[in-house]
């Protein structure tokens, strides 16, 4: 297989206002994110010849990317609407990078947004997200999305003695970083006790173990490494990309505690020629706190069963061995559904461009971003770097 | 609007219709491959082990154990609000396959991983009956 390593770079990245954004619908947020990313890269829309979007729940379209192209009045030669839940972002960046490396197009805009907070009622948002369950063999039992993930949390606790306090430590770690991020939706510091005292949603998950419901969008501009030097900000190179797909429905998972992050991480590290110890900053998909523990283990940042202690010891703080979810993550920054991972990507780019202000990880040279979609189903890992090799 | 909120009623597909018909008769069915002997759930047109399409229906003993579970304190919709708190579990059947279900007829706080459970059936419409599970009383465990 040909390696993508160092062939493609991100040259623009931006996010919209997040949280409650009632003055923009999902389509407008998607376009606003695109506009901001093009401004960041210093390019005009005529220079975009590839477009990747994901569908919205609040304003769905049959052919979403075509609608966004039409709205922007751009006429790409590569136009794709991707859909793999939280894994969508990195999976579609993987596809777009492949297209650029193969000469299909030169400059790809990846823009994704949704308005789950103000564009849908609470009941609509819950039902829409829970429809990820199997329509015959899961949904009739009334599972919520937190309930699906609670099944995994319980399994990890049973297998490794992981505690509710360790789950809570994940939320606390993210919130510390959100407090330093002016655009984050939730910035007030929380303690482990606050998490444990918050309302039980689906045992053992409390309200503060669950990610936010948000409006928001984010976008990046991707181009070939050769062209990447001509942009205003330091290019961020794609060094590794990998995916792993193990199931769609949690009742069909072959393991509840080991995920396809093992495969996606291995593939990305192998392409990059790097290992977990080489990563300076990580953005790890955190739709619910137990997910982070399983991913940290499966990506090789700690041994199986030890991620709870790892986070509890403060290793994921800005001064820890693996600064993680430095924008606050889905738990504290924002989570507008399928586009959620976009913010991990823009944050990784911001960190590697050394533009993260108070939350900057000093001298960050390499970043790992990991997304998963479904219920621990589709995993995608990217490794990014300031240097091409 | 169409009256009080109703729990979700699945729509059988051609390859699952026989399974739902089994539930209607209070029989929990599994597919068994006549070529390699693999037992599987959910119903498919192929054996996931050997891709054979020669599958037959076998009745499950309807017993299994709780692999993992959660207690839903927040209902997914108004239709389930009356059941709160309700238990969602993954149940591994004695024959091997795993399925999602509710654990009923017990205190949700009494449910535990590894608990032995047996199937029972809840009629949801004329066509659709759903398999649920309840704890097997200790005296009856085999």
CA A27-A31-A36 angle, 5° bins: 145
- For chain A, give the mean pLDDT: 95
- pLDDT tens per residue across span B95-120: 999 999 999 999 999 999 999 999 99
Q: CA A173, CA A42: separation in Å to the nearest integer?
A: 34
One domain, residues A67 and A163? no
Residue span of the structural domain in which A356 resides: 143-213+240-385
B96 token code pair: 């091997």
Q: How many residues does chain B have?
A: 142
Q: CA A322, CA A306: separation in Å to the nearest integer?
A: 14
Asked if B75 and A144 come within 8 Å (Cβ–Cβ), the reply is yes
Please list, in sequence order, all residues whose beta carbon lies within 8 angstroms of the beta carbon of residue A209, skipping any fewer than 6 positions away.
A146, A153, A167, A168, A170, A171, A195, A201, A288, A289, A290
Alpha helices in A25-163 (DSSP H): 26-41, 64-72, 88-101, 122-130, 145-160
The set of long-range contacts for B136-140, using a CB threshold of 8 Å and a minimum separation of 24, is: B136/B63
Asked if B73 and A251 come within 8 Å (Cβ–Cβ), the reply is no
Tell me how many residue pairs between chain A and chain B have CB atoms under 8 A apart. 105
Q: Which of B22, B30, B68, B75 to mutate to test the interface with A (most CBs of A within 10 A)?
A: B68
In a domain, A269, yes or no: yes
In a domain, A353, yes or no: yes
A150 token code pair: 């609670």
Residue of B nearest to A249 (CA): B100
One domain, residues A153 and A287? yes
One domain, residues A107 and A87? yes
Asked if B130 has any chain A CB less than 8 Å from its own CB, the reply is: yes
Whether B3 shows a pLDDT value over 80: the answer reads no
Q: Report the DSSP beta bridge partners of residue B96.
A: none
One domain, residues A253 and A152? yes
The arithmetic mean of pLDDT across residues B25-36, rounded, is 98
Residue-by-residue DSSP string for B61-86: --EEEEEEEEEESS-SSGGGGGG-SE
- Which ipTM was obtained for this model? 0.96
Q: From the CA atom positions of chain A, what is the Rg in Å?
A: 19
Q: CA A350, CA A357: separation in Å to the nearest integer?
A: 9
One domain, residues A195 and A224? no
| CA dihedral sign of residues A96, A97, A101, A106 | positive
CA A52-A53-A54 angle, 5° bins: 135
In a domain, A289, yes or no: yes
Whether A8 shows a pLDDT value over 50: the answer reads yes
In a domain, A130, yes or no: no
In a domain, A2, yes or no: no
Q: How many CB atoms within 10 Å of residue B130?
A: 21
- pLDDT tens per residue across span A51-92: 999 999 999 999 999 999 999 999 999 999 987 677 778 889
Alpha-carbon separation of residue A117 from A20, A334, A372 (angstroms): 6, 10, 21
Whether B4 shows a pLDDT value over 70: the answer reads no
Residue of B nearest to A129 (CA): B76
The share of chain B scoring above pLDDT 70, in percent, equals 94
- pLDDT tens per residue across span B50-64: 999 999 999 999 999
Band the pLDDT of A2: cuts 50, 70, 90: low
Please list, in sequence order, all residues whose beta carbon lies within 8 angstroms of the beta carbon of residue B94, skipping any fewer than 6 positions away.
B60, B61, B63, B64
In a domain, A38, yes or no: yes
Residue of A nearest to B16 (CA): A136
pTM, full prediction: 0.96
Q: What is the pLDDT of residue B1?
A: 41
One domain, residues A193 and A342? yes
Q: From the CA atom positions of chain B, what is the Rg in Å?
A: 16
The share of chain B scoring above pLDDT 90, in percent, equals 92
Q: Which of A183, A200, A230 is the last residue of a domain?
A: A230
Which residues in chain A have their CB less than 8 angstroms from residue B72's CB?
142-144, 147, 202
One domain, residues A81 and A98? yes
Main-chain dihedrals φ then ψ at residue A170, nearest 5 degrees: -65, -45
One domain, residues A315 and A335? yes
Alpha-carbon separation of residue B20 from A24, A111, A327, B57, B127 (angstroms): 45, 43, 48, 12, 8
Number of domains in chain A: 2
One domain, residues A310 and A373? yes
Asked if B8 and A137 come within 8 Å (Cβ–Cβ), the reply is no
Looking at the complex, report in whole angstroms how far the Cα of residue A113 sits from the nearest Cα belonging to chain B: 24
One domain, residues A160 and A53? no
Secondary structure letter of residue A139 according to DSSP = G
- Pairwise pLDDT comparison (B4 vs A83), residue with the higher score: A83
The arithmetic mean of pLDDT across residues A7-22, rounded, is 97
In a domain, A135, yes or no: no
- Give which of A240, A217, A301 is closest to A34, Cα–Cα: A217
- Pairwise pLDDT comparison (A364 vs A82), residue with the higher score: A364
Asked if B71 has any chain A CB less than 8 Å from its own CB, the reply is: yes
Residue of A nearest to B40 (CA): A252
- Give the domain CATH number at A329: 3.40.47.10
- Pairwise pLDDT comparison (B2 vs A291), residue with the higher score: A291
Count Cα neighbours of A3 within 13 Å in the Cβ-side half-sphere. Answer: 15
One domain, residues A209 and A301? yes
Q: What is the pLDDT of residue A129?
A: 79
Q: Which of A183, A205, A230 is the last residue of a domain?
A: A230
Q: CA A162, CA A166: separation in Å to the nearest integer?
A: 7
| CA dihedral sign of residues A57, A59, A62, A65 | negative
One domain, residues A19 and A83? yes
Asked if A228 has any chain B CB less than 8 Å from its own CB, the reply is: no
- Give which of A302, A229, A227, A317 is closest to A265, Cα–Cα: A302
**Which of B7, B16, B72 is the closest to A140 by Cβ?**
B7
Whether B38 shows a pLDDT value over 50: the answer reads yes
Q: CA A266, CA A300: separation in Å to the nearest integer?
A: 9
């Amino acid at each position: 297989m040909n390696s993508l390593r160092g062939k493609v770079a991100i040259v623009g990245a931006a996010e919209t206002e997040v949280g409650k954004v009632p003055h923009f619908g999902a389509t407008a947020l998607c376009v606003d994110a695109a506009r901001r990313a093009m401004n960041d890269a210093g390019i005009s829309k005529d220079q975009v010849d590839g477009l990747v979007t994901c569908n919205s729940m609040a304003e769905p379209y049959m052919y979403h990317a075509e609608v966004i192209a039409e709205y922007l009045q751009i006429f790409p030669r590569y136009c794709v609407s991707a859909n793999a839940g939280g894994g969508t972002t990195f999976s579609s960046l993987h596809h777009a990078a492949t297209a650029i490396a193969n000469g299909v197009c030169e400059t790809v805009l990846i823009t994704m947004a949704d308005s789950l907070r103000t564009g849908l009622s609470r009941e609509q948002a819950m039902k829409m997200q829970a429809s990820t369950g199997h329509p015959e063999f899961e949904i009739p039992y009334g599972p919520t999305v937190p309930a699906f993930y609670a099944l995994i949390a319980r399994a990890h606790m049973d297998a490794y003695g992981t505690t509710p306090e360790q789950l809570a430590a994940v939320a606390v770690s993210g919130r510390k970083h959100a407090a330093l991020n002016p655009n984050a939706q939730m910035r007030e510091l929380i303690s482990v006790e606050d998490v444990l005292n918050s309302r039980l949603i689906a045992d053992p998950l409390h309200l503060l173990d669950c990610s936010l419901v948000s409006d928001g969008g984010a976008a990046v501009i991707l181009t070939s490494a050769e062209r990447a030097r001509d942009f205003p900000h330091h290019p961020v190179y794609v060094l590794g990309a990998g995916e792993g797909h193990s199931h769609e429905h949690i009742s069909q998972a072959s393991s509840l505690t080991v995920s396809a992050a093992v495969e996606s991480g291995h593939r990305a590290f192998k392409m990059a020629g790097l290992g977990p110890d080489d990563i300076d900053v990580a953005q790890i998909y955190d739709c619910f706190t137990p997910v982070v523990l399983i991913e940290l283990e499966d990506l090789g940042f700690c041994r199986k069963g030890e991620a709870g202690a790892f986070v509890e010891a403060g290793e994921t703080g800005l001064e820890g061995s693996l600064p993680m979810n430095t924008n606050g993550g889905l738990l504290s920054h924002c989570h507008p559904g399928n586009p959620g991972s976009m913010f991990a990507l823009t944050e990784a780019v911001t960190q590697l461009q050394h533009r993260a202000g108070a939350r900057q990880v000093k001298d960050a040279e390499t970043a790992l971003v990991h997304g998963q979609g479904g219920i621990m189903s589709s995993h995608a890992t990217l490794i990014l770097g300031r240097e091409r090799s | 609007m169409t009256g009080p909120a109703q729990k979700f009623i699945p729509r059988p597909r051609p390859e699952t219709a026989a399974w739902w018909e089994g539930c209607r008769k209070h029989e929990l069915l599994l597919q068994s491959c006549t070529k390699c002997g693999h037992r599987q759930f959910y119903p498919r047109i192929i054996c996931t082990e050997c891709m054979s399409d020669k599958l037959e229906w076998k009745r499950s003993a309807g017993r299994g154990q709780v692999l993992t579970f959660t207690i839903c304190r927040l209902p997914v919709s108004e239709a389930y609000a009356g059941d709160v708190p309700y238990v969602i579990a993954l149940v591994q059947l004695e024959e091997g396959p795993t399925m999602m279900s509710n654990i009923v007829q017990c205190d949700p706080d009494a449910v535990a991983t590894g608990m032995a459970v047996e199937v029972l059936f809840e009629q949801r419409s004329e066509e659709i009956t759903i398999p649920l599970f309840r704890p097997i009383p200790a005296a009856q465990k085999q």
